[in-house]
Amino acid sequence: MTTTTNPNGTKIHTFTNKAPDLKTMQKLVGGYIQVVTPQDASMEIVMDEEGKLKEKPANIKATELWLGDNEKDWHDILVGDVIVCKDKARLK
């Protein structure tokens, strides 16, 4: 796992070799999990499903991974810490 911390303190935890188990995912995102997939289906992004209710800060970098870097095309935004599962770590 590698972790990137954004300027506002939100984190992106990236797994490429083995997917984390449910408890680990819940701990890293800080709650129950929700999974979204970008249009190209190259990865899964796991987030706290109640992140907005908990008023977690926006995770712009994670949103770019999900919806692309053109903010005009965004229909939503990811908040809080997220997990990216790709390569051998894809969720099944």
Q: How confident is the model over 10-28, as pLDDT tens digits?
A: 999 999 999 999 999 999 9
Contacts of 51 (CB under 8 A, 6+ apart): 29, 30, 31, 78, 79, 80
Residue 13 CA to its chain's centroid (Å): 8
CB 53 within 8 A of CB 43: no
d(CA 66, CA 84): 10
Q: Which helix (H) or strand (E) holds 23?
A: helix 22-29
Q: Show the domain range for 85.
A: 2-89
**Is the model's pLDDT at 92 over the cut of 90?**
no
Give the mean model confidence (pLDDT) for residues 50-73.
Answer: 96
pTM of the entire predicted model: 0.95
Number of structural domains the chain divides into: 1
